[in-house]
Amino acid sequence: MTFSGPFSTRRNSSSITDGSMPLSHEDFMNRAIELARKSMLAGHGGPFGAVIVRDCEIIGEGSNHVVLHNDPTAHGEIMAIRDACANIGNFSLNDATIYTTGQPCPMCLGAIHWARLSRIYYGFRIEDAAAIGFDDTAIFAQFSLPPSERLIPSTELCRDATLQLAGEYASMPQRVRY
């Protein structure tokens, strides 16, 4: 699939080469680094950028915009997933690869699974991010605790009513599975 619009403009002004030379994993990661640095220097957020590639073609790009958008979910990977899905007109990114400057946080790792991405390449590690103030390890640690012992209390409520809702959904023949 070929994308004209945003990518033709980006490619003309980026270091990603057009044409004959196949792009390497490092080329895609370098593009993620470039996006991250641009966003970081503009004050939009942390040093996080991501690109999504399918069939050696960049289909989505993103960088951290938490500060600019006042959006705690605007991580580089999330932005790249939204961009890629909008560009291809589909909520599934199966057979695509994400290149991200930092190892994904729990939210982004979840989003990567929901997007059905096939492979992750990451730059710095979770512990490297923690050293500059992004402590994902604290969130990962929450998962192994029972809900009652977690930092944010989590309590079951209105299970019957919500189960009815779930049943209504399950009986809809026209529902879109994802």
> Of the listed 26, 34, 77, 168, which one is catalytic?
77
* CA-wise closest residue to 34 among 12, 55, 50: 50
- Residue 97 bridge partners (DSSP): 53, 119
**Closest separation between CB of residue 44 and Zn ion, Å?**
15
Whether 120 contacts 100, CB under 8 Å: yes
Which CB sits closer to Zn ion, 7 or 81?
81
Q: How far apart are CA 27 and CA 139, in angstroms?
A: 31
Which CB sits closer to Zn ion, 59 or 74?
74
CA atoms within 13 A on the CB side of 76: 33
x/- site string to Zn ion, residues 69 to 88, per CB under 5 A? ------x-------------
**Closest separation between CB of residue 114 and Zn ion, Å?**
13
Q: Where are the beta strands (DSSP E) in the chain?
A: 49-54, 57-63, 97-102, 119-124
Residue 77 known to be catalytic:
yes
Judged by DSSP in three states, 126 sits in helix
Q: Does the protein bind Zn ion through residue 105 (CB under 5 A)? A: yes
Tokens of 153: 């209390």
**Closest separation between CB of residue 152 and Zn ion, Å?**
17
**Closest separation between CB of residue 50 and Zn ion, Å?**
9
Which CB sits closer to Zn ion, 3 or 134?
134
Tokens of 81: 């997933």
Task: Kindly indicate which of the ranges 33-41, 51-59, 83-91, 103-111 contains the residues binding Zn ion, using the contact rule CB under 5 A.
Answer: 103-111
Would you name the residues annotated as active-site residues? 77
Contacts to Zn ion by CB under 5 A? 75, 105, 107-108
